[in-house]
Structure 1
Amino acid sequence: MLEISDLCAGYGGVPALRSIDFRVGPREHVAILGPNGAGKTTLLKTISGTVEADSGSILFDGQDLLSQAPHRRVETGIVHVPQGRMIFASMTVSDNLRLGSHRRGARDRHDERRELVLEIFPALADMLGRDGGALSGGQQQMLAVARGVMACPRLLMLDEPSMG
Structure 2
Amino acid sequence: VAFGKKTQVCGIYAGHRVDEVPENVFRKSSRINSTFGGNLVDMVRCRRFIEIIEAEGLEPRVREVGKKTIAGLREIARESGAFSNVRGTGTLIAFTLDTPEARRALLDSMFDNGLMALPSGIKSIRFRLPLTFALDEVDTLLKYVAQSIPAAAKA
**Which of the five TM-score ranges fits, normalised by the shorter chain?**
under 0.3
Q: Which has more strand, going by share of residues?
A: 1
TM-score by length of 2: 0.23
TM-score by length of 1: 0.23
Q: Which has more helix, going by share of residues?
A: 2
User: Considering only CA atoms, is the larger Rg found in Structure 1 or Structure 2?
Assistant: 2
Higher relative contact order, structure no. (Cα contacts within 8 Å, ≥ 6 residues apart): 1
